[in-house]
């Protein structure tokens, strides 16, 4: 008899079928668990169900709560205006899970000083330092840090969790971000250069250019600096005067030689190490003498707001000085001016002040003695030597 041979199933197929049959015998009929996206999902893989969980993997889930980074400190700390006076910045940060997740937290940073925000992030750890920073121009430096779940980020929750076609898992419906969506942000301005201060509109004095005499007790100087938005500090003989950028008036200065010092501080706290200075001499206002021969007249253009004048003969006044060489009068010169004489202590002779001019000139400066004259201490005396002709004097400089 002729026999027809039977085909054998491959052993692998038989084994697979037997395993499937065995599993069907051991387990009740179940369906793969539905994908979930709940805050309780921490590993993005659900725990298996049934008596043999390792043979029945759970489906994917989506961890909805990424970790968050917290910026703890900036060194050096920016001031109230957001500036630092250093070319190096160090940022310290930490991260935390907002649920019971125990996955490792990773960090990514951005640091830039461009108007356009970069699209890429760089892996970083705390603390992170940036050195050799250029001074800020119109765009400040921006630092950003964000945290991410280092384990979940490698998993796409919408992928099938199982490679076994006979025991399929179920993917999650979504794969929400495992990265912090709102990074921590710090904006810092860098300024390492100290400002330089300037004084303009200083008085001109042809007689003594190195030490000019003012013709007012309330001078105005124009102040400036190499940087904008600086604060000014102005001192005259250690007395603080309010001042600011542009024209600044220093009112009602006392008589004598003064030094104005102008320093500036920029928003980063950098201080001008070499303040600008200018030196000048303020004359003294001539007070109304006793008696009736002089009268006082007011004028907003006069030194100190007033001057004295007379048309009488032998109208006198005197001014005391110490170690005086130079003497100048601020007075009115004119064609029809009267005669004014003066003499210094120890000198028996009277000299004549040159008050005559072709036109009337208010606040003219008349030099009576120069820096090479012999010094004196005591009262310098003045008297008129004419009748019916005007003599008007305003202030006197003695140094």
CATH code of the domain covering residue 228:
2.60.40.10
Nearest to 362 by CA among 280, 278, 306, 283: 306
Residue 273 shares a structural domain with residue 234: yes
pLDDT of residue 31: 38
Residue 74 shares a structural domain with residue 160: yes
Give a yes or no: residue 3 inside a domain.
no
Residue 342 shares a structural domain with residue 306: yes
pTM score, whole prediction = 0.73
Give a yes or no: residue 331 inside a domain.
yes
Give a yes or no: residue 276 inside a domain.
yes
Q: Which of 248, 282, 316 is the last residue of a domain?
A: 282
Question: pLDDT of 233-287, one tens digit each?
Answer: 999 999 999 999 999 999 999 999 999 999 999 999 999 999 999 999 999 999 9
Question: pLDDT of 98-130, one tens digit each?
Answer: 999 999 999 999 999 999 999 999 999 999 999
Residue 124 shares a structural domain with residue 151: yes
Give a yes or no: residue 178 inside a domain.
yes
Percent of the chain with pLDDT over 70: 85
Domains in the chain, number: 3
Give a yes or no: residue 1 inside a domain.
no
Residue 165 has pLDDT above 70, yes or no: no
Nearest to 61 by CA among 234, 230, 178: 178
Q: What is the CATH number of the domain that holds 362?
A: 2.60.120.430
Residue 33 has pLDDT above 50, yes or no: no
Q: Which of 282, 301, 329 is the last residue of a domain?
A: 282
Q: Which of 172, 190, 208 is the last residue of a domain?
A: 190
Q: State how beta strands 83-84 and 184-190 pair.
A: parallel
Give a yes or no: residue 55 inside a domain.
no
Give a yes or no: residue 19 inside a domain.
no
Q: Which domain holds residue 263?
A: 197-282
**Which residues 6+ apart lie within 8 Å of 194 measured at CB?**
266, 270, 271, 272, 273
Give a yes or no: residue 5 inside a domain.
no
Residue 331 shares a structural domain with residue 264: no
Contact 193, 272 (CB under 8 A): no
Residue 72 shares a structural domain with residue 184: yes
Residue 275 shares a structural domain with residue 289: no
Residue 292 shares a structural domain with residue 270: no
């Amino acid at each position: 008899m002729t026999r027809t041979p039977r085909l054998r199933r491959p052993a692998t197929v038989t084994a697979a079928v037997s395993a499937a049959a065995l599993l069907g015998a051991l387990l009740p009929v179940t369906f793969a668990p539905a994908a979930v996206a709940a805050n309780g999902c921490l590993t993005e893989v659900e725990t298996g169900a049934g008596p043999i969980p390792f043979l029945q993997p759970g489906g994917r889930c989506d961890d909805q709560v990424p970790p968050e980074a917290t910026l703890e400190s900036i060194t050096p700390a920016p001031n109230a205006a957001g500036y630092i006076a250093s070319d190096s910045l160090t940022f310290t940060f930490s991260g935390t899970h907002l649920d019971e997740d125990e996955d490792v937290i990773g960090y990514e940073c951005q640091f830039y000083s461009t108007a356009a925000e970069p699209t890429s992030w760089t892996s970083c750890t705390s603390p992170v330092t940036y050195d050799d920073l250029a001074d800020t121009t119109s765009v400040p430096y921006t630092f950003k840090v964000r945290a991410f779940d280092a384990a979940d980020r490698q998993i796409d929750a919408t992928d099938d969790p199982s490679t076994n076609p006979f025991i399929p898992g179920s993917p999650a419906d979504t794969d929400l971000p495992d990265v912090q969506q709102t990074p921590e942000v710090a904006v810092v301005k860098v300024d390492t250069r100290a400002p330089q201060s300037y004084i303009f509109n200083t008085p001109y004095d042809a007689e003594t250019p190195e030490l000019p005499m003012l013709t007012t007790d309330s001078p105005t100087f124009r102040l400036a600096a190499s940087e904008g938005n600086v604060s000014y500090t102005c001192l005259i003989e250690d007395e603080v005067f309010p001042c600011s950028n542009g024209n600044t008036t220093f009112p009602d200065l006392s008589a004598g030689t003064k030094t104005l010092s102008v320093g500036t501080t920029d928003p980063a706290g950098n201080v001008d190490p070499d303040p600008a200075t200018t030196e000048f001499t303020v004359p003294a206002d001539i007070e109304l003498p006793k008696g009736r021969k002089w009268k006082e007249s007011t004028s907003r253009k006069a030194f100190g707001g007033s001057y004295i004048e007379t048309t009488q003969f032998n109208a006198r006044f005197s001014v005391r000085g110490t170690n005086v060489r130079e003497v100048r009068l601020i007075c009115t010169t004119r064609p029809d001016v009267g005669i004014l004489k003066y003499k210094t202590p120890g000198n028996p002779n009277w000299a004549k002040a040159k008050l005559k001019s072709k036109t009337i000139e208010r606040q003219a400066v008349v030099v009576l003695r120069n820096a090479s004259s012999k010094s004196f201490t005591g009262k310098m005396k003045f008297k008129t030597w004419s009748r019916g002709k005007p003599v008007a004097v305003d202030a006197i400089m003695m140094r």
